[in-house]
Structure 1
Amino acid sequence: MARSQPHDPRTVLAVSKALTVLREPDPHAKAKKTDEVREEITSWASESQGLAGVEEVNEFDLHEIPDKPARSSLVRIVPPRELKSLGKGGSLNSRKAILHSLTHIESWAVDLSWDIIARFTIALDLPFGFVLDFATVASDEARHFSLLRSRLEELGGSYGDYPAHDGLWESAEETSASCMSRLAVEHCVHEARGLDVLPQTIGRFRKNGDEATAVVLETVVYPEEITHCAAGLKWFAFLHVRDHCEGEEGDRDGCLLEIESLRIGETFSIADILERHGFDRAPLIESFHSCVRSHFHGRLKPPFNEEARARAGFTAEFYEPLAG
């Protein structure tokens, strides 16, 4: 896409900062750095000129996205088929294994949030709001990682005690050439799957006497994961309207402005927004289905947490046709 003006300096500096997090191998340091970078990025929301450090950013470096984020050897990675069942939380070891799996997922989710910023923001000329949303997601995931890791330690375990798989990053590699596919698969399908299974996981901890872990999952992780799914759908719709609705009848600019202004913590209907600005919802949904079918192996597994998905704007027309 041809540019008529330079990149927003906030975006340039944010991508540079995202790369520093991706290059940090230690998961604990990565979480701490995530909070620091997110705080910086948020402070730039009302300014776009004269940011300290922008002049020092090497433009070439912004395009040197690592093929894989730096990861320590703390956790032994094995194929999913080699992992033992985590159990149902009836024993202390089972609860620790479940917590370890959740902690590992959150560690990868931190990297995925920074990777989407680094990989696509400048390449696709995305607005600073995209950076703000996914920096917020990254900070949430880092908090989840730290809280769950602490609970694991309080139960006598530590991150690295159990093997794990890197299926989330495999999906990221599968979608590295398409931001819309990345948003659909990682930030909608996978995030929504977490919403489907979290209530049952919370129930298992509560049933087996671990109220502290249940509360963390119920009051922090669960509601924030809804907003992460919402962020994926929001920016999927933005790219669809911007890149695929040009020349169509309808108020394209007004639609983009409304989508960009959406708060991911509030319930919204992307389909209603499109129709309000004169666009048919069907092509958006068809595009979503196409991305998932091309880059997600298998079909989506019911039962679905319809209430939580709807709070993210992720209504049944997006996922039910993909179920099996």
Structure 2
Amino acid sequence: MDKPEFFTLAWEALAESDPSTKCTLVEKLYSNLEQGRLTFDFEQPVLEMERPSYAKFVRIVKPSEVPKRKGFDTKEGQGILLHAIAHIEYSAIDLALDSAYRFRHMPHDYYKDWVEVAHDEVRHYRMLERLMKEAAVSYGDLPVHSSLFEAGKRSGCDVLHRMAVVPRYLEAGGLDANPKIVEKLRSYPSTPQISAIVDALNIILEEEIGHVSKGDRWFKFEAARRGLEESVYFDILQRYYPGFDKRQSSFNVSARLEAGFSCTELKKMGAKKCD
């Protein structure tokens, strides 16, 4: 019996618009890859996603038009928060799949890493789905923005750019934002739902450090392969996000160091302290 082909399965999962089916397809891809049951046709044409996979069931608006995250002590506020995070995790499934699908002739461990990330993001998404149910919200009930999808499209021209922009910039930003949300949640009187959300966010934070670390690994791999200094990271970010290094000074330094950033990088980005 012929083995399934990796890029065919990755595209099938990436293009799928039904969340439940997408999650099942990611698990199938992960299982097949783990058990060595796949072939790799590196010459297969790379197809393009013109619209996000969620566009069929979620209304896409400008970032300024998404519901504001506040009032986490109310069911409505919790629903808005959980929907926003679920959208990030769902988008992250597609970004990981796209990173595995789009870039060819990479080492086997590269594909293993990004399928593992997609598999983790599926778990995160399902965890948030259960919490959303408690808040009487389902994914698609609220409008979302497509900034992560657009960042993926823009950085899809080059694996070095993708690793710099998505895991090492956008996902790394989540390492900074997550503890602030947890701190805000803990400022309210504890309830079973608030405790469950905090627990979920802590799981996501811990595992996202590993995701950023994978991006760090492959960014540095590709930079070294091209004979480039790792400081090219800043040149790439200036191209995509002009003035990025002047926008933030509050970093989760310990998480970023664990993920592979250096103190030199973090201080250049605006971190006030790094040991």
TM over 0.5: yes
2:217 counterpart of 1:234: yes
Pick the aligned partner of 1:39 from 31, 36, 42. 31
Partner of 1:216: 200
Q: 1:19 touches 1:65 (CA, 8 Å); kept in 2? A: no
Q: How many residues align?
A: 264
Matches within 5 A, 1:183-222: 183-208=163-188, 209=190, 210-218=194-202, 220-222=203-205
Q: 1:188 touches 1:232 (CA, 8 Å); kept in 2? A: yes
Q: How many angstroms does 1:297 deviate by?
A: 4.5
Q: How many angstroms does 1:312 deviate by?
A: 0.7
RMSD: 2.3
1:137-183: CA deviation from partner (whole Å, max 9, x where unpaired): 01111111110111011222211121110111111122111111111
2:151 counterpart of 1:167: no
- Partners of 1:149 and 1:182 in 2: CA distance: 28
1:6-46: CA deviation from partner (whole Å, max 9, x where unpaired): xxx99x932221111112111222122112211111111xx
Partner of 1:108: 91
* Structure 2: runs of 5 or more not aligned: none
1:208-247: CA deviation from partner (whole Å, max 9, x where unpaired): 33101111111x21110000110111000101111226xx
1:49-99: CA deviation from partner (whole Å, max 9, x where unpaired): xx56x49x7954x42243445335222110012223211513221111011
Q: TM-score, normalised by structure 1?
A: 0.75
Q: 1:27 touches 1:72 (CA, 8 Å); kept in 2? A: no
Partner of 2:72: 89
Q: 1:22 touches 1:69 (CA, 8 Å); kept in 2? A: no
2:13 counterpart of 1:29: no
- Partners of 1:222 and 1:176 in 2: CA distance: 25
Distance 1:88 1:180, change over 3 A: farther
Partner of 1:302: 249
Q: How many angstroms does 1:296 deviate by?
A: 2.4
Question: Aligned to 1:175, what secondary structure does the other structure show?
Answer: helix
Letter in 2 for 1:93: E
Matches within 5 A, 1:120-139: 120=103, 122=104, 125-139=105-119
Question: Aligned to 2:157, what secondary structure does the other structure show?
Answer: coil
- Partners of 1:30 and 1:299 in 2: CA distance: 33
Partner of 1:280: none
Identity %: 27
Q: Whose Rg is larger? A: 1
Q: 2:237 touches 2:244 (CA, 8 Å); kept in 1? A: no
Single out whichever of 203-212 and 148-157 deviates more from structure 2: 203-212
Q: 1:185 touches 1:296 (CA, 8 Å); kept in 2? A: no
- Partners of 1:190 and 1:310 in 2: CA distance: 16
Distance 1:112 1:297, change over 3 A: farther
Letter in 1 for 2:256: R
2:50 counterpart of 1:70: no
1:258-285: CA deviation from partner (whole Å, max 9, x where unpaired): xxxxxxxxxxxxxxxxxxxxxxxxx21x
- Partners of 2:257 and 2:235 in 1: CA distance: 21
Q: 1:103 touches 1:145 (CA, 8 Å); kept in 2? A: yes
Q: 1:226 touches 1:308 (CA, 8 Å); kept in 2? A: yes
Partner of 1:258: none
Q: How many angstroms does 1:117 deviate by?
A: 1.1
Q: TM-score, normalised by structure 2?
A: 0.88
* Structure 1: runs of 5 or more not aligned: 1-8, 45-50, 246-282
